[in-house]
Amino acid sequence: MAATVSVPLTPRGAELRVARRRAALHWVAVHTTAIAAGLFFVLPFVFVLLTSLMTDHQALTSDLWPHEWVWSNYAEVFRTPGFLTWWRNTLLYAGLGTLLTILSSVPVAYALARFRFRGRRLALLAVISMMMLPPQVVIIPMYLFWAKQLHLGGTLWPVIIPMAFGDAFSIFLLRQFLLTIPKEYVEAARIDGCGELHTLLRVVLPMAKPAIAAVALFQFFYCWNDYFGPQIYASENPDSWTLSYGLASFKAAHHTNWNLTMAATLLVMAPVIVLFFFAQKAFIEGVTLTGVKG
Amino acid sequence: MARPVTTVPAALRRKRRREGLRTLAFLSPWLIGFGVFFAYPLVSTAYFSLMKYNGFGTPSFRGLQNWAYVFQHYPSFWQGIGNTLWLVVVMVTLRVAFGLGIGLLITRVKTGAGLFRTLFYLPYLAPPVAATMAFAFMLNPGTGPVNGLLGDLGLPQPGWFTDPEWSKPALTMLAMWGIGDLMVIFMAALLDVPREQYEAAELDGAGPWQKFRFVTFPNITPIVLFAVITGVIQTMQYYTQAIVAGKVASGVIGGSGQQFEPGYPNGSTWTLPQMVYNLGFQQGDYGSACVVALVLFALSMAFTAVLMRRKSGLLGSED
């Protein structure tokens, strides 16, 4: 990294040498720390992977490296009763939830960003307070509403349906982004005779793709990782369990199957990570294509 | 906004009304959501906190009896409050500090920056249940690799999730593992600091610490505040990880499945949100559950209000 150019033995040369050495030390320090941090972040994944490939017996020991590589553990997990159902439910919850969130949150964010109306500040404040509300605060009346009045207990509908009415966090993020879109685009569309809805659909939305993609991703992760919602509403009916809830109740055919439990853990972690990698590419493409700094 | 004091022509009135209706149309999903899923349940929770109700029959008025029960007789109520506050103060502070540190680190890494960024971010994506189980297994006092390494180094081997003194620190470590979200926002904030200010500081002879204190930190203060506020809100809701860690440590998960002891070990991981669940869904005492829910709400609002007093540009520019 540091060039091996001979540095003249002048006072100026000495300065240069000191500066170069300091830069090199800095590089070493930064990268050593980065590697140490990297290990902290990555080792738990490695550990889960390695344990998931051990035999039942070895998983209980303090060995770190599998003696035999039991790939069939993963097949075993898939055969666990309910595992595939959890997958299906989680995909339904996350997919439908994300779609509903986007459809309902974009118009609201647009209105909050672009329309002038009385009470706009108040509405924004209301959105922010919704963002701050712990779900446990309102869970009792909500549970009574969904389970007792609408008889939707034991299903995932009580967590999916509210997403058709906007998600405060998504609304807030989208609004912040929409504020950065220059007014000239909107005005040009208006001059061309577009109504507000058309302006939104034809002009603004294509420019907002990266933000919408980001919000969709966040919402997908939120649903995928959600434990509390499914616990409250779906726990009484194993057919409605999601991956997170199922994992927390994971008991294979026998007891203490740590290798299988770790395999299941990895299978729950993997999809979101894979999705992230794919989305990242689309994300970056979206940003560069529209030329709007995300 | 001064308006001429003349009658508003009919066409303008029509246009205004159309615009108003249009605004309403665009806002309607959220308006319904706000009413049904926020405002009404909030009022309802307050109502139920004064009632005796177990889900069957009709609620009967109890006045402040539920409140007296929760504050005076509900076991581990104060321990739960203490735990929640401990987590808010310690976990949020460490997370923000660590996030800032990692953000600073990542902006200085030259070789392999992309790889490091991805690696640092990945744990944040892990579902909380999965992440907690991974950590609980790793921090297994007997056979886990962490204690194995500590033992090899001749260091003491804490009981982590099985030790009441160490369970919350272990949860904090778990929270710091998932630092990706803070890393990203701090990274963005740090990169936004104008270079000229650094150069000016250097000309004045500032060292790295002074540069941080007088250039970096003042520029990123809004983001730090944002991180603290959202951290407090998230930690007030701390629920899943505490429960899963307790279940793994006590052998309910991956063990012979005995009854789960809340807040295991010794109530050290018992938090306010768990109380709502316990009172409402395990003991069927919806009234008292709502009392705890209101306490949770009040504390969240109090923290937020205190922190927000210092905020300014959270709402962003308005055209």
Which H or E run contains B61? strand B60-61
Q: Which candidate from A138, A139, A251 shows the least CB-CB separation from B257?
A: A251
pLDDT tens per residue, chain A (294 residues)?
Answer: 445 566 667 777 788 888 888 888 888 999 999 999 999 999 999 999 998 888 877 777 777 788 888 888 888 888 888 889 999 999 999 999 999 999 999 999 988 988 888 888 889 989 988 888 899 999 999 999 998 889 888 899 999 999 999 999 899 888 888 888 888 877 777 777 766 677 667 778 888 888 888 889 889 999 999 999 999 999 888 899 999 998 888 764 445 678 888 899 999 999 988 888 888 776 565 555 443 343
Residue A292: per-residue pLDDT: 38
Q: Which candidate from A117, A140, A256 shows the least CB-CB separation from B286?
A: A140
Q: Does B97 touch chain A (CB under 8 A)?
A: no
Which H or E run contains B145? helix B145-152
Kindly determine whether residue A44 and residue B133, on different chains, have CB atoms separated by under 8 Å: no
| Residue of B129, B243, B296 to mutate when probing chain A, most A C-beta within 10 A | B129
Helix (H, G, I), strand (E, B) or coil at B74: coil
Reported as a single tens digit per residue, the pLDDT across A179-200 is 888 888 777 777 777 666 776 6
Residue B9: per-residue pLDDT: 80
Cα(A96)–Cα(A101) distance, integer angstroms: 8
Residue B319: per-residue pLDDT: 32
Q: How far does A250 lie from chain B, in Å, by closest CA?
A: 7
Residue B87: per-residue pLDDT: 94
Angle at A160 between CA A156 and CA A161, to 5 degrees: 115
Cα(A269)–Cα(A95) distance, integer angstroms: 17
Residue A4: per-residue pLDDT: 57
Cα(B5)–Cα(A101) distance, integer angstroms: 44
Query: How would you write A80-130 as a 3-class SS string?
Result: CCCHHHHHHHHHHHHHHHHHHHHHHHHHHHHHHHHCCCCCHHHHHHHHHHH
Angle at B121 between CA B222 and CA B310, to 5 degrees: 15
Q: How far does A10 lie from chain B, in Å, by closest CA?
A: 24
Q: How far does B240 lie from chain A, in Å, by closest CA?
A: 7
Helix axes B167-177, A11-52, angle to 10 degrees: 110
- β-bridge pairing B51-52 and B60-61: antiparallel
Reported as a single tens digit per residue, the pLDDT across A94-132 is 999 999 999 999 999 988 988 888 888 889 989 988 888
Residue A252: per-residue pLDDT: 46
Q: Which candidate from A127, A268, A273 shows the least CB-CB separation from B122?
A: A273
Kindly determine whether residue A140 and residue B48, on different chains, have CB atoms separated by under 8 Å: yes
List, as ranges, residues 118-137 from B with C-beta within 8 Å of A: 119-120, 122-123, 125-131, 133-135, 137
Q: How far does A7 lie from chain B, in Å, by closest CA?
A: 25
List, as ranges, residues 125-154 from A with C-beta within 8 Å of B: 126-145, 148
| Residue of A57, A60, A100, A136 to mutate when probing chain B, most B C-beta within 10 A | A136
Chain B residue with the nearest C-alpha to that of A1 = B111
Residue B256: per-residue pLDDT: 59
Q: Which candidate from B48, B102, B145 shows the least CB-CB separation from A64?
A: B145
Chain A residue with the nearest C-alpha to that of B123 = A41
pLDDT tens per residue, chain B (319 residues)?
Answer: 566 556 678 888 888 888 888 888 889 999 999 999 999 999 999 999 998 888 787 888 888 888 988 898 888 899 999 999 999 999 999 999 999 999 999 998 888 888 898 899 999 999 999 999 999 989 988 888 888 888 888 888 888 988 889 999 999 999 999 999 899 889 888 888 888 888 888 888 888 888 888 888 888 988 898 899 889 989 999 999 999 998 888 877 766 556 677 777 888 899 999 999 999 988 888 999 999 999 999 998 888 888 877 654 444 433 3
Residue B304: per-residue pLDDT: 83
Kindly determine whether residue A130 and residue B177, on different chains, have CB atoms separated by under 8 Å: no
Q: Does A222 touch chain B (CB under 8 A)?
A: no
Q: Which candidate from B26, B237, B314 shows the least CB-CB separation from A136?
A: B237
A121 contact residues in B (CB cutoff 8 A): 315
Residue B6: per-residue pLDDT: 61
Chain A residue with the nearest C-alpha to that of B48 = A141
B104 Cβ neighbours under 8 A, 6+ residues apart: B186, B190
ipTM rounded to 2 decimals: 0.85
Q: Which candidate from B125, B129, B314 shows the least CB-CB separation from A272?
A: B125
Task: Compute the mean pLDDT over every residue in chain B, rounded to the nearest whole number.
Answer: 86
List, as ranges, residues 36-65 from B with C-beta within 8 Å of A: 36-38, 40-42, 44-45, 48, 55
Kindly determine whether residue B257 and residue A255, on different chains, have CB atoms separated by under 8 Å: yes
Q: Residue A51: exposed, middle, or buried by beta-carbon count in 10 A (0-12, 13-18, 19+)?
A: buried
